[in-house]
């Protein structure tokens, strides 16, 4: 095919226009990139200057540190551990480090620290919630999640059931079945309360060698030894109420009630207390 001169001129103009548009696109992109870089640099410089000013300004000095959630831990102790002080710059303090330091307190399970402008730090503390004491040579405090978190001290003023029957040597060996037994004892105490019995009546829960539980509880005038075994705890506690009621109608009390009879699960054996 042969192109006429006019057609060739049109082709050349189209080529020139296409190349010109391509260059415009490249230059436009380059200018936009440079402009974005310039804006970014300006913002970074501005942010850096703002940071320098904020971290040196008296306007952001820490004027108050407020705590919530404290029952056993004390503010002065937590402040000493954390290193937080009034007068320090709000933006310069390391909140993560301070929170971890507070969590070394034996009663503290977790801490969340927040900055509040212009000069306030909020410390939200979650403490362990004690559920029982565990006899391991000395008494240790067990929380609701089954964690031994501290050695019991007189100033703790804890009136809680004592879990016995756990060997200190076996515990130090880290046998996992012992942790499960402690969970089982906590479940027993929960079931005891859910059955309408006061937790304050329980003085001791013994973890028996056969895997069962024996509970020692006040029935009003005496401490009863109640053998519950390891299964059907709710049913056995209902039976305990029936046995106590039957004895009360006869004017008698039991010092020991055995509700764990695999051969005759529908029966209970009671040892009567001395009437003196």
Terminal alpha carbon distance of the chain:
132
Fold adopted by 130-272: Rossmann fold (3.40.50)
Please choose, from the candidates 163, 260, 257, 236, the residue with its C-alpha nearest in 3D space to the C-alpha of residue 203.
163
The confidence score (pLDDT) of residue 156 equals 93
Mean of pLDDT over the chain: 85
Where in the chain are the domains?
A: 5-56, 59-127, 130-272
Joined tokens for residue 38: 């310039």
The confidence score (pLDDT) of residue 81 equals 97
CA distance 29 to 130: 65
pLDDT band at residue 53 under the 50/70/90 scheme: low
CATH number of 59-127: 3.10.20.310
């Amino acid at each position: 095919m042969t192109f006429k001169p006019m057609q060739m001129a049109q082709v050349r103009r189209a080529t020139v226009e296409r190349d010109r548009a391509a260059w415009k696109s490249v230059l436009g992109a380059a200018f936009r990139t440079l402009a974005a870089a310039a804006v970014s640099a300006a913002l970074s410089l501005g942010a850096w200057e703002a940071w320098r000013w904020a971290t040196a300004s008296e306007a952001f000095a820490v004027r108050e540190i407020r705590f919530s959630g404290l029952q056993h831990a004390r503010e002065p102790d937590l402040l000493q551990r954390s290193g937080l002080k009034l007068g320090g710059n709000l933006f310069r303090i390391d909140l993560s480090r301070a929170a971890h330091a507070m969590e070394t307190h034996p009663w503290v399970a977790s801490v969340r620290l927040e900055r509040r402008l212009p000069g306030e730090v909020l410390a939200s503390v979650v403490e362990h919630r004690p559920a029982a004491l565990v006899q391991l040579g000395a008494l240790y405090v067990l929380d609701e999640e089954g964690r031994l978190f501290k050695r019991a001290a007189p100033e703790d003023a804890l009136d809680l059931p004592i879990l016995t029957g756990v060997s200190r040597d076996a515990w130090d060996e880290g046998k996992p079945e012992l942790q499960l037994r402690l969970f089982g004892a906590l479940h027993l105490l929960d079931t005891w309360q859910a059955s309408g019995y006061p937790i304050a009546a329980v003085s001791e829960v013994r973890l028996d060698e056969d895997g069962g539980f024996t509970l020692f509880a006040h029935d009003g005038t005496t401490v009863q030894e109640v053998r519950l075994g390891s299964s059907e705890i709710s049913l056995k506690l209902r039976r305990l109420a029936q046995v106590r009621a039957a004895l009360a109608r006869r004017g008698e009390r039991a010092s020991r009630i055995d509700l764990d009879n695999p051969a005759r699960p529908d029966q209970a054996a009671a040892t009567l207390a001395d009437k003196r």
